[in-house]
Amino acid sequence: MTDFSDRAPITFQDPLPSAVDVVVVGAGVIGISTAWFLRQAGSSVLVCDKGRVAGEQSSRNWGWIRQQGRDAAEVPIAMDSVNLWESISREVGADIGFTRCGILYTARTERELARLERWLRIAERHQLDTRMLTGAEVDALVKDKPGQWAGGMYTASDSRAEPFKAVPAVARALQARGVALRENCAVRALDVTAGRVAGVVTEHGRVRANAVVCAAGAWSTRFLGNLDVALPQLSARATVARTAPAPNFYDGGAILGEVAVRRRQDGGYTVAASSTNEHFVGADTLRYFSEFLPALRSSTRFLDVRFGGDLLSRLFPTRHWHADEVTPFEKVRVLNPEPSPDALREMRAGLIERAPKLADVPFEEAWAGMIDVTPDVVPVMDEIARFPGLYLATGFSGHGFGIGPGAGRVVAEMVLGKPARHDLARFRFARFDDGSKAEVGPGL
Ligand SMILES: Cc1cc2nc3c(=O)[nH]c(=O)nc-3n(C[C@H](O)[C@H](O)[C@H](O)COP(=O)(O)OP(=O)(O)OC[C@H]3O[C@@H](n4cnc5c(N)ncnc54)[C@H](O)[C@@H]3O)c2cc1C
């Protein structure tokens, strides 16, 4: 069994340096990938995580390294990212399960097929190997219950890796290359001198730095909130399970109607309900409601609004604190939500209906993660104008694992002041308050 909680042993305990070039807040795939490219360029780097390396989204995800179905601005970065995952997987000297296995979206009706087909124009623009499949071609790939599909969209170069292994393996390789990594080390506050970032204050002391990258996932809004910077981002619970070893009826990742499956290195499948992301109403829902309206109205169904749980504490969160106080980050070391029983039922029903070869294969483990969603379902990668030297890389909205190394390189190059290799206008922070109309990404 995998330990997803703050009971997992602490494995990264480097002493805090007094000064580095860059401090990275958060050791998920984005923080670790950013550190990877900063180090490659010769920077000294400290990565702090309040809990564990990849303790939150970056180990809990489906393991899809997907280019297809993305926002047009993300595609070139995602295409870089597949190649970077492949090269990094060789360099880290550990098997992270990287495989170019293909990703498939199926369509039950001609209407669904037409919706998928619209995305093909984006693929063609970037010469991505995405193609439409007939029902018979889907049946040739997915060897279970033939005859149920009108067709599908397939990208053979899309890939997978094992999330529990991947980011920790990169972190170990980073440590061997001289990057300091520290778990159970919340960054409490930013150190600002003469209007510029001068470092951070962690729960274990102060570290001077020329630049700070906030890659805090679902916590980024809180981290910035303490600086009175408003980041419209909400969290959504997504539930996942892994099956016992099962017959290999399909080797890649696929959306099969209501259920998503991905072949695992251990011979089982990672399974999820394909579009259940539960957002529990809290203070930020009310605060950012108008920003999220276009996404809530769109067909992406990225947020299923719920009222349960500890509503009171969500309505009155701690918004401000001083650097000498225990912060919300230390109170929740590892965000480890209970899996949703409804989602687990949906998944089982989906398997019975769509992939009968898995109908009776038991779930050996179930877990959930909190996805960080922005109003337009694309991330922010930008410097925060009010705090020169503070960079934000967050809001990957349920698809940051695949694009992680590509995004990490983008952020590292931004910090290093290098010319951007892609058009990054779509990811600017100012889009939320400069009067531009929210363009919700495809969320396919
Ligand atoms: C169930 C699920 C399925 C998904 N499936 C896929 C998929 O198949 N493919 C895909 O591409 N993406 C997928 N995603 C999305 C993907 O996992 C995320 O977009 C990605 O992992 C985000 O990485 P991150 O580094 O930004 O955030 P995280 O991995 O959440 O890391 C943020 C880290 O910051 C730390 N932190 C926060 N505040 C502080 C602080 N003040 N001080 C120190 N540390 C701090 C946290 O402890 C955490 O470890 C999925 C997500 C979930 C939850």
Residue with CA nearest ligand 1 atom 2: 61
Rounded CA gap, 419 and 410, in Å?
10
Helix segments in 288-431, DSSP class H: 289-297, 311-315, 328-331, 341-354, 400-415
Of 119, 85, 115, the C-alpha closest to 101 is 85
Whether 377 and 400 have beta carbons less than 8 Å apart is answered as no
Choice from 56, 84, 276, 335 to test ligand 1 binding pocket (greatest atom count within 8 A of CB) = 56
Whether 50 and 240 have beta carbons less than 8 Å apart is answered as no
SS (H, E, C) 105-124: EEECCHHHHHHHHHHHHHHH
Per-residue pLDDT of the chain (444 residues; tens, 9 = 90+): 578 789 999 999 999 999 999 999 999 999 999 999 999 999 999 999 999 999 999 999 999 999 999 999 999 999 999 999 999 999 999 999 999 999 999 999 999 999 999 999 999 999 999 999 999 999 999 999 999 999 999 999 999 999 999 999 999 999 999 999 999 999 999 999 999 999 999 999 999 999 999 999 999 999 999 999 999 999 999 999 999 999 999 999 999 999 999 999 999 999 999 877 899 999 999 999 999 988 888 765 678 888 877 887 888 888 899 999 999 999 999 999 999 999 999 999 999 999 999 999 999 999 999 999 999 999 999 999 999 999 999 999 999 999 999 999 999 999 999 999 999 999 999 999 998 888 999 876
Whether 411 and 213 have beta carbons less than 8 Å apart is answered as yes
Q: Give backbone dihedrals phi and psi of 148, rounded to 5 degrees, phi first.
A: -100, -5
Whether 145 and 12 have beta carbons less than 8 Å apart is answered as no
Choice from 58, 104, 227 to test ligand 1 binding pocket (greatest atom count within 8 A of CB) = 58
How, if at all, do strands 380-383 and 253-256 pair?
Answer: unpaired
Cβ of 411 below 6 Å from ligand 1 = no
On the 0-12 / 13-18 / 19+ scale of CB atoms within 10 A, 227 is: middle
Whether pTM > 0.85 for this model: the answer is yes
